[in-house]
Structure 1
Amino acid sequence: MVEVKAETMPPNPIPNDRLKKRAAYLECEAMLGKFADRASVLTVPNKWPFEARPSGAVTASQLAVTWARANDPAILQLSDDEAPEIAASTLINRTYGLIAAAFADKIIGRDGERDVTAGMLKLISGRLSELYSGKFDQMIHGQVLPLISIDHLERDGPNPLLYHPATGAINSDFLKLVKQALGRLIDRNRLRDPIDAEAIASLFRELFSNTHLHARTDLSGTLYPRSARGIVFSLRQVDHPREADAAAGVAALRDYFLSMRERAARNRVEFLEVSVFDSGPGLAGRANRAPIPDEMPIKEEYSLVRQCFLKNHTTENDPAHGLGLPRVMLALKSCGGFMRLRTGRLSLYKAFAPGIENPEFSEEDLDFLDLLYGEQISFHPQVAGATFSILIPLGLGS
């Protein structure tokens, strides 16, 4: 018998975690669970229908950030689900694709061997120029309007739509920006009720201000080598007979869509989605001022997250910073909205019925439910950063 020496044996290949085109929330959660256990090469679809589902764009972006933080080096392999000549540009034009490519240390071609990092960086640079141009026709993709800052790729400063180009302070006129976004996404003639742009701008500002404070550094104050944050505006249309399709298998979201039936003036209901994401240490880590240990009970982590919403002040002197997440919840309650929050080991949601008269904020508004298990707050795979996805019904009719 010939003895084969250990050093001559081929190394075990790194598994390729490949998300299929039909993948949605549950498939993403299953994939996130794998990242903590072993290294992997990631492949996401170049054209992923999940992006057209509520919170799909930021969910997929958070998955990419979590994967990149778990791998050193983080290697992204391009998918072969589109023609070779358009595959790369198709991927970069989508929010999740841009984030995945920007956070990768190396990008290889669909053959699994060819290094295409340099070419992809050129495409990323071109896409960022479009997103930072302020020209919505260049920025918008389908019915998704991304406003993103990717810190480690910004040679000329942060996104001027979000920040003042000279001072770096948060944009002081969110109302103007929201009105422009709404005008680009929504045909007002098909809505029966007026849109409260000021309330939406306030919501937008509070969430982004919170994100701005915590996205770029870890809990020791050290800058992340790669960091990003942003807001994604989307218009979601839901036909009553197809709520299950729109909910992508999430019962809580399906039930929320069904609750609109009695108030809707027609079979189709339109929702404005405002989703905010960051690549920071997560809400519980911020509140704890230290990483969350694996042995911490999930109810304790939930309490830390809930505590973030109870703080109605900021330690910052800059008036651009938000005054607290309670304002977000009051705005959500006022419009009958739905929030999904994914941070740490938690996947939470809160839904409010439309038409509440004279709404006021109360601590009961912070009794979040588990997105998959309802009142039973349960462990979910660990994620990087935090994503808030808010759905606001439009034009329900009186």
Structure 2
Amino acid sequence: MVEPQLLAFQLPFDLLDERRGQDVAAHNASVTIIVPDSYANEMSAGMAQSEVLAIQRLLTLSRHNDIKVRWQQHIASRVLASPTIFPLLAVLIVLENATHDIEGFDNVQAADSLDAGRRKLFKERLKVDFFSDTQVVICADSRGRGTPPDLYGSDGRMIAREDFEAIIEELVTHQAGTNLSTSSAVHWSSALATIVSELFENADTHGKTELSGLPIRKNGVRGLILKRTTVGRGRTRDTGNAASRPIEAFELSVFDSGPGFFASFMREQIQLHVDIGLEWKVVHSCLERHYDSGLTDVRQGHRGMGLYEVLRALQLLRGAIEVRTGRIYGYRTFMEGEFKFKMEPSTSPTRPGMPKPQLLDFERRFVAVPSEHELLVGSSIRVIVPLN
């Protein structure tokens, strides 16, 4: 029997990394996660890193391994009282193959506290005047909690685009404070609503069922994260690789534990021998409504996410996007100071100066040739928009 691997959340992004993710999954080991009282401080120190990617790696671990969670008492009390402000830990408490041990609690007390925390997570609503800079909405499909009222109507269908816009407008106005004029806030809310509704609709359509079309039986989880964060400015010709002053930003992230873009499109599970170039091509076909790839989409009712529309909105907002699915990690940025690539020339007859609907490789940064990463379930998409 393989010894349990101890994963301490003091360094959540380092420990849920690619190497560990591969090793743990390959050995089908039992994984013990320790959540210390210092968790919030450690997360604040690494806020510029992608929490949604850590969630996707956690979901991948849960697909291959049973998980044992050891909570220190103070952090457990904080999380279970306000689970929506701890996205990574909110996902942890809804996993169905996880057992939990809380310091100072017996088994019955721990189970009751976790049940109460889950009820609170599913009951709470998005707040405009929220006291934290972070909120998460969880769709726990395999627990029968897949249609939270913030994102779905009473008929179980996703809310309309204009309803997304109303939510985002309120949140942006609150987060930006006096930094934005009223007209700017309207443009922000419209552009952000376009992005978040496109991303979440994609997760709703393709992220909650198996390839068979049946609901995901265990740990079928999707979610939307909204937070205020701090990111570094991009490299410029003047600064080179020198560190620059961080800026305040608004982050929107969407994740799911579904088949992933490649499997959803090709109707078969991705295998490690599949050419990475083909997977890159398929991801773009999933993202773009009219992507001319030579690939046939066999899915019924699929219209693509509208990558061009998303990138055009990000260009307006001077933001950035990261896409992680399967073995692919793509990105595009329009942030101030970043080099611009894959843009239509000013002489283009249709889209002069507009972004081409193509991602760049996250590791190589300036090329559209993909690097291969460890295989993750589902997808995670992170959007960053500067507030100033």
**TM-score bucket (shorter structure):** 0.7 to 0.9
Q: Is the 8 A contact 2:179 2:387 kept in 1?
A: no
- Establish whether residue 340 from structure 1 lines up as the match of residue 322 from structure 2: yes
1:297-347 superposed Cα distances (whole Å, 9 cap, x missing partner): 2222112112222334997779xx876333212212332221111111122
**Which of 185, 190, 199 lines up with 1:207 in the alignment?**
199
The match for 1:83 among 71, 74, 82 is: 74
Corresponding position of 2:306: 324
Amino acid corresponding to residue 330 of structure 2 in structure 1: L
Instruction: Please state if 1:218 is matched with 2:210.
Output: yes
Distance 1:329 1:282, change over 3 A: same
User: Whole-Å Cα distance in 1 between the matches of residues 16 and 22 of structure 2?
Assistant: 10
Match for residue 231 of structure 1?
Answer: 224
Residue 177 in 1 paired to residue 167 in 2? yes
Partners of 1:259 and 1:25 in 2: CA distance: 27
**Distance change (3 Å), C-alpha of 1:65 and 1:367:** closer
Q: Which residue of 2 aligns with 1:257?
A: 234
Aligned to 1:9: none
Q: CA deviation at 1:179?
A: 1.3
Distance 2:238 2:255 in 1: 30
CA–CA separation in structure 2 for the residues paired with 1:77 and 1:390: 30
In the superposition, relative to structure 1, how do residues 367 and 88 fare at CA in structure 2: closer, same or farther (>3 Å)?
Answer: closer
Contact 2:16–2:54 under 8 Å retained in 1: no
Alignment-mate amino acid for residue 96 of structure 2: A
1:91 positional shift:
8.7
- CA deviations on 1:125-159 (whole Å, 9 max, x unpaired) are 122212xx34455xx5631122332223346x611
Q: Spell out, residue by residue over 1:241-268, the C-alpha distance to the aligned partner (whole angstroms, 9 max, x if none).
A: xx4xxxxxxxxxxxx5344999xxx955
Q: Please list the CA deviations of residues 44-95 of structure 1 after superposition, one character each: whole Å capped at 9, or x if unmatched.
A: 5352534762463312221221111112xx2231243x53773663794511
Q: Distance in 2 between matches of 1:325 and 1:198?
A: 16
Cα deviation per residue 1:85-119 (whole Å; 9 max; x = unaligned)? Answer: 736637945111111221132313157x9754454
| Counterpart AA for 1:77 | V
Matches within 5 A, 1:344-363: 344-354=326-336, 361=354, 363=356
Write the distance in 2 (CA, Å) between the matches of 1:147 and 1:20. 22
Q: Residues 88 and 120 of structure 1 are in contact (CA less than 8 Å); yes or no, is this contact kept in structure 2? A: no
Instruction: Please point out which of 93, 97, 116 is paired with 1:105.
Output: 97
State the match for 1:194 in structure 2. Answer: 184
The alpha carbon displacement at 1:170 in A equals: 1.0
Question: In the alignment, which residue of structure 2 is the partner of 1:381?
Answer: 374
Match of 1:247 in 2: none
2:139 counterpart SS class: strand
1:252 aligned residue: none
Q: Which one is further off, 194-203 or 15-24?
A: 15-24
> Aligned partners of 1:344, 1:191: CA distance in 2, in Å?
38
Structure 2 unmatched runs, 5+ = 292-296, 341-345
Name the SS for the 2:17 alignment partner.
Answer: helix
| SS at structure 2 position matched to 1:109 | strand
In 2, the alpha carbon distance for the partners of 1:180 and 1:190 equals: 14
Report how far residue 372 of structure 1 moved. 6.0
Q: Percent of aligned pairs with the same residue?
A: 22
SS of the equivalent of 2:309 reads helix
Q: CA deviation at 1:272?
A: 1.4
What is the CA–CA distance in structure 2 between the aligned matches of 1:20 and 1:332, rounded to whole Å? 32
Closer, same or farther: CA 324–119 of 1 in aligned 2, 3 Å = same
* Structure-2-length-normalised TM-score: 0.78
Paired residue for 2:251? 273
Greater shift after overlay, 145-154 or 269-278? 145-154
In the TM superposition, what are the counterparts of 1:54-133 in structure 2 within 5 Å? Answer: 54=48, 56-71=50-65, 74-80=66-72, 83=74, 86=77, 89=80, 92-93=83-84, 94-109=86-101, 115=107, 116-130=110-124, 133=125
Q: Does the 8 Å contact 1:215/1:385 carry over to 2?
A: yes
Q: CA deviation at 1:360?
A: 5.7
Aligned-residue offset at 1:34: 2.0
Residues 141 and 371 from structure 1, CA distance in 2 versus in 1: closer, same or farther, beyond 3 angstroms?
Answer: farther
Residues 1:394 and 2:387 are matched in the alignment: yes
2:30 corresponds to 1:40: yes
CA contact (8 A) 1:185 1:234 kept: no
Amino acid of the structure 2 residue aligned with 1:30: R
SS at match of 2:35: coil
Q: How many residues align?
A: 352
Aligned-partner SS, 1:24: helix
User: Which residue of the partner structure matches residue 287 of structure 2?
Assistant: 309
Which segments of 5 or more consecutive residues in structure 1 lack a partner in the other structure? 1-11, 244-255
1:62–1:384: 8 Å Cα contact kept in structure 2? yes
Pick the aligned partner of 2:358 from 358, 363, 366.
366
Report which stretch shifted further, 38-47 or 327-336.
Answer: 38-47
Q: CA deviation at 1:233?
A: 1.3
Cα distance, 1:13 vs structure 2: 5.3
Of residues 383-392 and 344-353 in structure 1, the stretch that sits farther from structure 2 once superposed is 344-353
Question: Who is 2:139 aligned against?
Answer: 149
Q: Cα deviation per residue 1:201-236 (whole Å; 9 max; x = unaligned)?
A: 111111111111011101121211231222211112
Counterpart Cα distance in 1 of 2:112 and 2:179: 45
Q: TM-score, normalised by structure 1?
A: 0.76
In the aligned structure 2, how far is the partner of 1:237 from the partner of 1:228?
27
